[in-house]
Amino acid sequence: MNKVTVVGSLNVDTTMKIKRMPLPGETISTLGKSSAAGGKGANQAVSAARSGAQTFFVGEVGKDSGGEMMLNDLRENGIDVSGIRENAQVGTGSAAILLDEHGQNSILVYGGANQQLSVDDVNAAKNQIMEADFVVAQFETPQAATLRAFELAKENGVTTILNPAPAQKIDPAVLKLTDLIIPNETESQALTGIIITDETSMLMSAAKFAQMGVRNLIITVGAKGAFYCTQDGYNFIPAFKVNAVDTTAAGDTFIGALASQLKPDMSNIEKALVYAQRASSLAVQKMGALPSIPTKQQVIAASQN
């Protein structure tokens, strides 16, 4: 069983189903509305936990009903929430998701307590970081917290995984402490300037990331699949063909599932990638973020059909 420590965001998601995305200045009616626990950090942690990883979370929520909801949902998934601080001054993070009839989404995020996550919060979780197989982070929390978590991880031989989303300028020190970076094709282009079109452009991107200090790369390419490049080789793993209903947590499900199965030396990366692709393909067939994330038993069952 892998031990995974997630340093990241916790959001209450409100999803509004619409026929199509509104034009600038246009008002349209929604077809439905629902709320659920989410946030990239929470999604990735729940995905890892449901796939069997022993999961610990470092984050912040507001001392409010949204924060209580987030803590309860993580606990119900067997995640250790002792590393989550309740902030009495700032509200719990939230996201407004517009979801069209084709399963595509646009998301507005309010950072809230997520943006208060500090180096002190990370230092308080030093033991859990030291004992982990993987430390996973994204960019819905301050990079200073991510940097400190990765420093502690590398001092103790722990493998680090960075999901550079949402795309932004990255502190070079964070990249130098990243063992595996997992952007989608848009985020990869934003960071390298290379448009992802084919295998050649993916290999060029891998070389660019290596120049930045990251020697292992996975680029997720939506419904097409995922490309990986490590020090031992590269390949493209096709995605499973499904009818997508809601793609909100697809990438996060992929990352959490991958962290639950991957060996720290990445020697089983293709097998772990296939598992993660299967988990993601199940997630997009259901509504919501956390509610859509499958268990290990569901992933295995789907693999046998």
String of DSSP letters for 105-144: EEEEEE-GGGGG--HHHHHHTHHHHHT-SEEEE-SSS-HH
Catalytic residue among 120, 232, 252, 265: 252
The answer on whether 223 is annotated among ligand-binding residues is: yes
From 125, 103, 143, 120, select the one nearest 247 (Cα to Cα).
Answer: 103
From 113, 107, 104, select the one nearest 13 (Cα to Cα).
Answer: 107
Residues 6+ apart with CB under 8 A from 284: 103, 242, 244, 245, 246, 247, 250, 292
The answer on whether 17 is annotated among ligand-binding residues is: no
Paired tokens of 27: 């008002």
Residues 6+ apart with CB under 8 A from 82: 56
Rounded distance, CA 220 to CA 92, Å?
A: 29
The answer on whether 247 is annotated among ligand-binding residues is: no
The answer on whether 246 is annotated among ligand-binding residues is: yes
The answer on whether 216 is annotated among ligand-binding residues is: no
The answer on whether 248 is annotated among ligand-binding residues is: yes
Q: Report the side by side order of strands in the sheet with 32-38.
A: 32-38, 11-17, 93-99, 105-110
Our answer to whether residue 198 is catalytic in this structure is: no
The answer on whether 169 is annotated among ligand-binding residues is: no
The answer on whether 25 is annotated among ligand-binding residues is: no
The answer on whether 252 is annotated among ligand-binding residues is: yes
- Helices within 159-295 (DSSP H only): 172-176, 185-192, 199-212, 250-261, 269-283
Q: How many C-beta neighbours within 10 Å does residue 195 have?
A: 13
The answer on whether 61 is annotated among ligand-binding residues is: no
The answer on whether 52 is annotated among ligand-binding residues is: no
The answer on whether 11 is annotated among ligand-binding residues is: yes
From 281, 179, 181, 283, select the one nearest 224 (Cα to Cα).
Answer: 281
The answer on whether 279 is annotated among ligand-binding residues is: no
The answer on whether 221 is annotated among ligand-binding residues is: yes
Binding residues: 11-13, 39-43, 140, 184, 220-225, 246, 248, 251-252, 283, 286, 288, 292
The residues that are catalytic are 252
Binding residues for K(+): 246, 248, 283, 286, 288, 292
Binding residues for ATP: 184, 220-225, 251-252
Binding residues for substrate: 11-13, 39-43, 140, 252
